[in-house]
Amino acid sequence: SAVISQKPSRDICQRGTSLTIQCQVDSQVTMMFWYRQQPGQSLTLIATANQGSEATYESGFVIDKFPISRPNLTFSTLTVSNMSPEDSSIYLCSVAFGGNEQFFGPGTRLTVL
Amino acid sequence: EDQVTQSPEALRLQEGESSSLNCSYTVSGLRGLFWYRQDPGKGPEFLFTLYSAGEEKEKERLKATLTKKESFLHITAPKPEDSATYLCAVQANSGYALNFGKGTSLLVTP
């Protein structure tokens, strides 16, 4: 099975700043996704990271707030822009290898003060 | 709108005491129903995919079943290492998004 890593594992940031989260997979994947897991809430899909094209965002999420890059088949970044305390959450990337199953990274725990 | 409801929110079992977790769902065209296990501070770990009513999957002490409206995760003779949050998610035919429930937090005591 593939190894999925995320950097940073956790961070504490000041409001109004931005943080870029990296997701690296040790093999090529068909699809990559970014989810958010807020305290006491279920995981929610932010966007699908498309290789070579713009990400596809879910309702309620916009590119200006969560810009995403996917320069190749093993790497993606999610930026959380102009942060507020409401952005405090765990951010997770997931990957799919061609089937319907998604496999998750370890997550990035973000606290915004 | 797709909806996933898991019950109970929390469950405490004695070691060896079998039980079931419930996942009720509504989805417009089910592509698949997924079970994950999540340990504190970690990402969800994939357990099972179920595609059609009547399907069952087993792995060690866990067995997942599916009907047209709900799925059950049966835990037989659980051990303390089975303690975790168990997440259920559905995927509709219309896309690849996983729509998750809030999970069941399971604690198995010796």
Residue-wise pLDDT for B54-74, tens only, equals 999 999 999 999 999 999 999
Q: What is the pLDDT of residues B88-100, one digit of tens each?
A: 999 999 888 999 9
Question: Which residues contact residue A62 at a Cβ distance below 8 angstroms, ignoring those fewer than 6 apart?
Answer: none
Average pLDDT for B28-45: 96
Q: pLDDT exceeding 70 applies to what percent of chain B?
A: 100
> Helices (H), strands (E): how many in chain A?
0, 11
CA distance A80 to A69: 12
Which residues does chain B have within 8 Å of residue A103's beta carbon, measured at their own beta carbons? Answer: 46
pLDDT category of residue B51 using cuts at 50, 70 and 90 = very high
- pLDDT for res A52: 80
Compare all CA atoms of chain A with the CA of B48 and give the residue at the minimum distance. A101
pLDDT category of residue A51 using cuts at 50, 70 and 90 = confident
pLDDT category of residue A40 using cuts at 50, 70 and 90 = confident
- pLDDT for res A28: 92
Q: pLDDT exceeding 70 applies to what percent of chain A?
A: 99
Q: What is the pLDDT of residues A15-34, one digit of tens each?
A: 999 999 999 999 999 899 99
pLDDT category of residue A98 using cuts at 50, 70 and 90 = confident
More confident residue, A50 or A5: A5
Q: Residue B83 pLDDT more than 90?
A: yes
- pLDDT for res B101: 97
Which residues does chain A have within 8 Å of residue B32's beta carbon, measured at their own beta carbons? Answer: 100
Give the 3-state DSSP-derived string for chain B, with helices as H, strands as E and coil as C: CCEEEEECCEEEEECCCCEEEEEEEECCCEEEEEEEEECCCCCCEEEEEECCCCCEEEECCEEEEECCCEEEEEECCCCHHHCEEEEEEEEECCCCCCEECCCEEEEEEC
pLDDT category of residue A54 using cuts at 50, 70 and 90 = confident
> For chain B, which residues lie within 8 Å of any Cβ of chain A, measuring from their own Cβ?
4, 31-32, 34, 36, 41-46, 49, 87, 89, 91, 96-103
- pLDDT for res A70: 94
